[in-house]
Structure 1
Amino acid sequence: MADSPASAPRFLAPAQVAELLDIDVDEVIALVMAGRLRGAQLGAPARWRVEEASVSDYLAEQTEDARRMALWRQADAASFPEVWGPQRP
C-alpha cells in the first residue's frame, strides 16, 4: 500500500525557500549543493526542489549556532572577577 500524500515529503521551489530565508536563489542552490538543505532535481525538464522539512532543520541549526555564539560572546566579554570571584590577598 502506498503512503498517503499527507506523509510524503513536501518540496518547495528554490524561489520559495529564498523568500522564506530572505536570501538569493543562488544561495539556496549553494546550500543544497553543500548539503545544508536537502534537495533534488525533479521533473522534466529537471528543476531544483528543496524538501520543506530540511528548511525547518536548517533554521533550527542556524538558531542553535546563534545561541551558542551569543553565549560565547557573553563569556568572552565577562571579566575575570565576575567569573572567578574576588581575588583573596
Structure 2
Amino acid sequence: MPDNSDVRYLAPAQVAELLGIEADEVVELVHAGRLRGARLGSPARWRIEQLSVDEYLEDQHEETRRMALWRESNEASFPELWGRRRP
C-alpha cells in the first residue's frame, strides 16, 4: 500500500486562489479528472492534492507554450520557413 503520509491537501478556495478561478470551478476540474481530489472529514469537504495542482499548472504551461509556437509558425512567411528562392 502506498505511503500517503506526505500528501498535502488543499481546500478548493486555496486552489482557486492559486489558479485565479472560483472554488466551484476547482470542484468542476476534480469532476472532469483534471485535478485529483476527494471529500474528506466529517462533515465531508472537498480537498485537492497539492501535487495534482502542480501537475495541472505544468500541463497548462506546456499547452500555452505549444499554442504560442503554433501561432508563431502560422505567422511566419513562407520565405522564413523554406528559405529564399534562388533565381
- Residue identity opposite 2:49 in structure 1: E
The offset of 1:44, in angstroms, is 1.1
- Deviation readout 1:31-65 (Å, 9 max, x if unpaired): 00011110000011110000001110000000000
SS, match of residue 55 in structure 1 = helix
TM-score scaled by length of structure 2:
0.91
Q: Could you list the structure 1 runs, at least 4 aligned residues long, displaced by more than 2 angstroms after superposition.
A: none
Q: Which runs of 5+ in 1 are unaligned?
A: none
RMSD (Å), alpha carbons: 1.3
Q: Give the structure 2 partner of residue 70 of structure 1.
A: 68
Tell me the TM-score normalised to structure 1 length: 0.89
Q: Distance in 2 between matches of 1:86 and 1:19?
A: 50
Aligned to 1:34: 32
Query: Percent identical across equivalent pairs?
Result: 65
Q: Secondary structure at the residue paired with 2:52?
A: helix
Matched length: 85
Give the secondary-structure state (helix, strand or coil) at the position aligned to 1:70. helix
Structure 2: runs of 5+ lacking an equivalent: none
